[in-house]
A and B are shown apart, each in its own frame.
Chain A
Amino acid sequence: MVTASWYLILAAGLFTIGAVGLLVRRNPLIMFMCVELMLNAVNLTFITFGRELGDIGGQVSVFFVLVVAAAEVVVGLAIVVAINRRRPRATADDLSVLRG
Protein backbone atom coordinates (compact mmCIF):
# COMPACT_ATOMS: atom_id res chain seq x y z
CA MET A 1 0.00 0.00 0.00
CA VAL A 2 1.39 3.35 -1.02
CA THR A 3 1.26 5.80 1.85
CA ALA A 4 1.41 9.56 1.53
CA SER A 5 5.00 9.55 2.70
CA TRP A 6 6.12 7.84 -0.51
CA TYR A 7 4.62 10.61 -2.61
CA LEU A 8 6.14 13.26 -0.37
CA ILE A 9 9.58 11.67 -0.52
CA LEU A 10 9.28 11.45 -4.31
CA ALA A 11 8.32 15.13 -4.38
CA ALA A 12 11.30 15.98 -2.17
CA GLY A 13 13.61 14.07 -4.52
CA LEU A 14 12.18 15.82 -7.57
CA PHE A 15 12.50 19.21 -5.90
CA THR A 16 16.11 18.42 -4.98
CA ILE A 17 16.99 17.44 -8.55
CA GLY A 18 15.43 20.65 -9.82
CA ALA A 19 17.21 22.80 -7.24
CA VAL A 20 20.61 21.23 -7.91
CA GLY A 21 20.08 21.57 -11.66
CA LEU A 22 19.16 25.22 -11.25
CA LEU A 23 22.36 25.80 -9.31
CA VAL A 24 24.65 23.80 -11.61
CA ARG A 25 23.47 24.44 -15.15
CA ARG A 26 24.24 27.68 -16.96
CA ASN A 27 21.93 27.53 -19.98
CA PRO A 28 18.93 29.80 -19.20
CA LEU A 29 16.50 27.42 -20.92
CA ILE A 30 17.69 24.45 -18.85
CA MET A 31 17.42 26.58 -15.73
CA PHE A 32 13.79 27.32 -16.60
CA MET A 33 13.13 23.61 -17.03
CA CYS A 34 14.59 23.00 -13.57
CA VAL A 35 12.21 25.61 -12.16
CA GLU A 36 9.37 23.68 -13.79
CA LEU A 37 10.61 20.51 -12.07
CA MET A 38 10.53 22.26 -8.71
CA LEU A 39 7.03 23.60 -9.35
CA ASN A 40 5.87 20.08 -10.25
CA ALA A 41 7.31 18.69 -7.04
CA VAL A 42 5.32 21.29 -5.11
CA ASN A 43 2.19 20.37 -7.07
CA LEU A 44 2.61 16.73 -6.10
CA THR A 45 2.97 17.76 -2.47
CA PHE A 46 -0.19 19.85 -2.65
CA ILE A 47 -2.25 17.03 -4.12
CA THR A 48 -0.88 14.46 -1.68
CA PHE A 49 -1.71 16.61 1.31
CA GLY A 50 -5.08 17.42 -0.19
CA ARG A 51 -5.94 13.75 -0.46
CA GLU A 52 -4.64 12.86 2.98
CA LEU A 53 -6.49 15.69 4.68
CA GLY A 54 -9.63 15.31 2.60
CA ASP A 55 -9.36 18.86 1.38
CA ILE A 56 -10.14 19.97 -2.16
CA GLY A 57 -8.21 23.20 -1.52
CA GLY A 58 -4.98 21.39 -2.32
CA GLN A 59 -6.09 20.77 -5.87
CA VAL A 60 -7.32 24.34 -6.24
CA SER A 61 -3.88 25.54 -5.14
CA VAL A 62 -2.29 23.37 -7.83
CA PHE A 63 -4.60 25.01 -10.35
CA PHE A 64 -3.23 28.42 -9.39
CA VAL A 65 0.35 27.14 -9.45
CA LEU A 66 -0.23 25.92 -13.00
CA VAL A 67 -1.49 29.35 -14.07
CA VAL A 68 1.44 31.12 -12.46
CA ALA A 69 3.88 28.65 -14.03
CA ALA A 70 2.42 29.31 -17.47
CA ALA A 71 2.72 33.07 -16.99
CA GLU A 72 6.25 32.69 -15.65
CA VAL A 73 7.35 30.64 -18.67
CA VAL A 74 5.83 33.13 -21.10
CA VAL A 75 7.57 36.12 -19.55
CA GLY A 76 10.82 34.24 -18.91
CA LEU A 77 11.14 32.94 -22.44
CA ALA A 78 10.38 36.40 -23.78
CA ILE A 79 13.30 37.70 -21.69
CA VAL A 80 15.52 34.89 -23.03
CA VAL A 81 14.59 35.77 -26.60
CA ALA A 82 15.21 39.48 -26.00
CA ILE A 83 18.61 38.81 -24.42
CA ASN A 84 19.64 36.38 -27.15
CA ARG A 85 18.82 38.96 -29.79
CA ARG A 86 21.21 41.42 -28.17
CA ARG A 87 23.89 38.94 -27.08
CA PRO A 88 23.68 35.64 -28.93
CA ARG A 89 24.42 32.46 -26.98
CA ALA A 90 24.69 34.22 -23.64
CA THR A 91 24.76 32.02 -20.56
CA ALA A 92 23.68 33.04 -17.08
CA ASP A 93 27.30 33.80 -16.21
CA ASP A 94 27.63 36.27 -19.08
CA LEU A 95 24.70 38.35 -17.87
CA SER A 96 26.29 40.10 -14.94
CA VAL A 97 25.44 43.70 -15.93
CA LEU A 98 22.93 43.96 -13.08
CA ARG A 99 25.52 43.02 -10.50
CA GLY A 100 25.90 45.72 -7.87
Chain B
Amino acid sequence: METAVFIVCAAIVLAGALGVVLVRNPVHAALSLVGTLFGMAVLFLNLEAHFLAAVQIIVYAGAIVVLFLFVIMLLGVDRLEDLSVEPITGQRALAAIVGLGTFGLAAAFLATSDIGVPGQEALTGPVAGQYSNLRQIADVLFTDYVYAFEATAALLTISVVGAVVMSRRMVRSHDAAEPETAKDD
Protein backbone atom coordinates (compact mmCIF):
# COMPACT_ATOMS: atom_id res chain seq x y z
CA MET B 1 0.00 0.00 0.00
CA GLU B 2 2.77 2.41 0.91
CA THR B 3 4.50 1.60 -2.36
CA ALA B 4 1.42 2.38 -4.44
CA VAL B 5 0.83 5.67 -2.62
CA PHE B 6 4.47 6.59 -3.07
CA ILE B 7 4.48 5.88 -6.80
CA VAL B 8 1.27 7.83 -7.47
CA CYS B 9 2.35 10.78 -5.33
CA ALA B 10 5.86 10.83 -6.76
CA ALA B 11 4.39 11.01 -10.26
CA ILE B 12 2.09 13.88 -9.21
CA VAL B 13 4.94 15.73 -7.50
CA LEU B 14 7.32 15.44 -10.43
CA ALA B 15 4.65 16.27 -13.02
CA GLY B 16 3.62 19.35 -11.06
CA ALA B 17 7.23 20.44 -10.68
CA LEU B 18 7.85 20.05 -14.40
CA GLY B 19 4.65 21.99 -15.01
CA VAL B 20 5.91 24.90 -12.90
CA VAL B 21 9.10 25.08 -14.92
CA LEU B 22 7.72 24.41 -18.40
CA VAL B 23 4.32 26.08 -18.77
CA ARG B 24 4.12 29.53 -20.28
CA ASN B 25 1.24 30.96 -18.27
CA PRO B 26 2.08 31.98 -14.65
CA VAL B 27 -1.43 31.06 -13.47
CA HIS B 28 -0.99 27.52 -14.79
CA ALA B 29 2.41 27.37 -13.09
CA ALA B 30 0.79 28.29 -9.76
CA LEU B 31 -1.84 25.57 -10.22
CA SER B 32 0.88 23.03 -11.02
CA LEU B 33 2.56 24.11 -7.81
CA VAL B 34 -0.66 23.26 -5.94
CA GLY B 35 -0.49 19.74 -7.41
CA THR B 36 3.09 19.34 -6.26
CA LEU B 37 2.25 20.58 -2.76
CA PHE B 38 -0.73 18.24 -2.42
CA GLY B 39 1.35 15.27 -3.53
CA MET B 40 4.00 16.29 -1.05
CA ALA B 41 1.41 16.47 1.74
CA VAL B 42 0.30 12.89 0.99
CA LEU B 43 3.95 11.81 1.05
CA PHE B 44 4.23 13.45 4.47
CA LEU B 45 1.27 11.32 5.59
CA ASN B 46 3.06 8.29 4.17
CA LEU B 47 6.05 9.18 6.34
CA GLU B 48 3.80 9.51 9.42
CA ALA B 49 4.24 13.27 9.68
CA HIS B 50 0.54 14.01 10.18
CA PHE B 51 0.80 17.49 11.60
CA LEU B 52 3.13 18.70 8.87
CA ALA B 53 0.87 17.27 6.17
CA ALA B 54 -1.99 19.40 7.49
CA VAL B 55 0.28 22.43 7.83
CA GLN B 56 1.55 21.86 4.28
CA ILE B 57 -1.99 22.05 2.92
CA ILE B 58 -3.01 25.05 5.03
CA VAL B 59 0.14 27.16 4.74
CA TYR B 60 1.40 26.28 1.26
CA ALA B 61 -1.68 25.46 -0.78
CA GLY B 62 -3.97 27.66 1.26
CA ALA B 63 -1.87 30.75 1.85
CA ILE B 64 1.28 30.89 -0.24
CA VAL B 65 -0.21 29.81 -3.57
CA VAL B 66 -3.22 32.07 -3.03
CA LEU B 67 -0.76 34.90 -2.40
CA PHE B 68 1.01 34.02 -5.65
CA LEU B 69 -2.26 34.01 -7.59
CA PHE B 70 -3.28 37.28 -5.95
CA VAL B 71 -0.05 38.97 -7.03
CA ILE B 72 -0.36 37.52 -10.55
CA MET B 73 -3.84 38.95 -10.87
CA LEU B 74 -2.88 42.24 -9.21
CA LEU B 75 0.01 42.82 -11.58
CA GLY B 76 -1.85 41.58 -14.63
CA VAL B 77 1.06 39.41 -15.74
CA ASP B 78 -1.16 36.44 -16.56
CA ARG B 79 -0.13 36.45 -20.19
CA LEU B 80 1.80 33.87 -22.16
CA GLU B 81 5.55 34.10 -22.16
CA ASP B 82 7.75 33.33 -25.09
CA LEU B 83 10.00 30.51 -23.94
CA SER B 84 11.50 29.76 -27.34
CA VAL B 85 14.17 32.44 -27.16
CA GLU B 86 17.04 31.96 -24.79
CA PRO B 87 17.79 35.20 -22.87
CA ILE B 88 21.45 34.38 -22.33
CA THR B 89 23.26 32.26 -24.89
CA GLY B 90 24.19 28.83 -23.62
CA GLN B 91 22.36 29.33 -20.36
CA ARG B 92 20.03 26.38 -20.77
CA ALA B 93 22.85 23.99 -21.62
CA LEU B 94 24.74 25.11 -18.51
CA ALA B 95 21.58 24.80 -16.41
CA ALA B 96 21.10 21.25 -17.72
CA ILE B 97 24.67 20.40 -16.74
CA VAL B 98 24.08 21.83 -13.25
CA GLY B 99 20.87 19.84 -12.96
CA LEU B 100 22.44 16.59 -14.08
CA GLY B 101 25.30 17.16 -11.67
CA THR B 102 22.99 17.90 -8.73
CA PHE B 103 20.74 14.93 -9.33
CA GLY B 104 23.51 12.59 -10.43
CA LEU B 105 25.68 13.17 -7.38
CA ALA B 106 22.80 12.72 -4.93
CA ALA B 107 21.45 9.63 -6.67
CA ALA B 108 24.91 8.09 -7.06
CA PHE B 109 25.61 8.59 -3.38
CA LEU B 110 22.35 6.95 -2.40
CA ALA B 111 22.77 4.08 -4.86
CA THR B 112 26.30 3.23 -3.78
CA SER B 113 25.86 3.51 -0.01
CA ASP B 114 25.16 0.15 1.60
CA ILE B 115 23.11 1.44 4.48
CA GLY B 116 20.07 3.35 3.36
CA VAL B 117 20.57 6.38 5.54
CA PRO B 118 23.76 7.37 7.33
CA GLY B 119 23.50 9.14 10.64
CA GLN B 120 23.01 8.75 14.32
CA GLU B 121 19.81 7.54 15.89
CA ALA B 122 17.38 9.63 17.95
CA LEU B 123 19.15 12.72 19.14
CA THR B 124 16.11 14.48 20.58
CA GLY B 125 13.36 11.93 20.96
CA PRO B 126 11.75 8.93 19.34
CA VAL B 127 9.23 9.42 16.55
CA ALA B 128 7.08 6.38 17.27
CA GLY B 129 6.39 6.88 20.95
CA GLN B 130 3.26 6.55 22.99
CA TYR B 131 2.19 10.10 22.17
CA SER B 132 0.69 11.46 18.99
CA ASN B 133 2.75 13.12 16.30
CA LEU B 134 1.47 16.58 17.23
CA ARG B 135 2.26 16.17 20.92
CA GLN B 136 5.76 14.94 20.14
CA ILE B 137 6.46 17.98 17.99
CA ALA B 138 5.01 20.30 20.62
CA ASP B 139 7.08 18.70 23.38
CA VAL B 140 10.31 19.37 21.51
CA LEU B 141 9.25 22.70 20.03
CA PHE B 142 8.37 24.32 23.34
CA THR B 143 11.34 22.98 25.27
CA ASP B 144 14.51 22.54 23.20
CA TYR B 145 13.58 24.90 20.38
CA VAL B 146 11.66 27.53 22.32
CA TYR B 147 14.09 30.35 21.53
CA ALA B 148 14.01 29.48 17.84
CA PHE B 149 10.23 29.45 18.06
CA GLU B 150 10.23 32.92 19.59
CA ALA B 151 12.60 34.04 16.86
CA THR B 152 10.16 32.86 14.19
CA ALA B 153 7.49 35.01 15.81
CA ALA B 154 9.79 38.00 15.47
CA LEU B 155 10.64 36.97 11.90
CA LEU B 156 7.00 36.83 10.85
CA THR B 157 6.26 40.21 12.46
CA ILE B 158 9.26 41.81 10.78
CA SER B 159 8.39 40.33 7.39
CA VAL B 160 4.79 41.55 7.57
CA VAL B 161 5.93 45.07 8.52
CA GLY B 162 8.54 44.98 5.75
CA ALA B 163 5.96 43.88 3.18
CA VAL B 164 3.66 46.75 4.15
CA VAL B 165 6.50 49.28 4.02
CA MET B 166 7.72 48.07 0.62
CA SER B 167 4.39 47.71 -1.09
CA ARG B 168 2.77 50.99 -0.10
CA ARG B 169 3.14 53.97 -2.38
CA MET B 170 6.00 56.28 -1.58
CA VAL B 171 4.69 59.82 -1.13
CA ARG B 172 7.59 62.22 -1.10
CA SER B 173 7.17 65.61 0.45
CA HIS B 174 7.57 67.69 -2.72
CA ASP B 175 5.05 65.81 -4.81
CA ALA B 176 2.58 65.19 -2.02
CA ALA B 177 0.53 68.13 -3.25
CA GLU B 178 -0.35 66.57 -6.60
CA PRO B 179 -3.58 64.62 -6.72
CA GLU B 180 -3.50 60.96 -5.75
CA THR B 181 -5.24 59.80 -8.92
CA ALA B 182 -2.40 61.04 -11.10
CA LYS B 183 -0.03 58.44 -9.72
CA ASP B 184 -2.56 55.64 -9.89
CA ASP B 185 -1.17 53.94 -12.97
Contact = CB atoms under 8 A, between A and B. Distances in A.
Q: Do A and B bind each other?
A: yes
Interface of A: 1-10, 12-21, 23-27, 29-30, 32-34, 36-37, 40, 43-44, 47-57, 59-60, 62-64, 66-75, 77-82, 84-85, 88-89, 91, 93
A29 B51 contact: no
Contacts of A10: 10, 13-14, 43
Contacts of A62: 49, 52
Contacts of B159: 70-72, 74-75
A30 B98 contact: no
Interface residues of B, number: 87
B163 interface: yes
A81 B167 contact: yes
B63 A70 contact: yes
Contact of B98 (A3, A20, A79, A84): A20
A47 B102 CA distance: 20
Contact of A2 (B6, B37, B137): B6
25 contacts: A2-B46, A12-B110, A13-B14, A24-B95, A27-B77, A29-B26, A36-B64, A40-B36, A47-B44, A50-B49, A50-B127, A51-B49, A53-B117, A53-B121, A54-B128, A59-B127, A59-B133, A59-B137, A60-B145, A73-B68, A74-B67, A74-B159, A75-B162, A77-B67, A91-B87
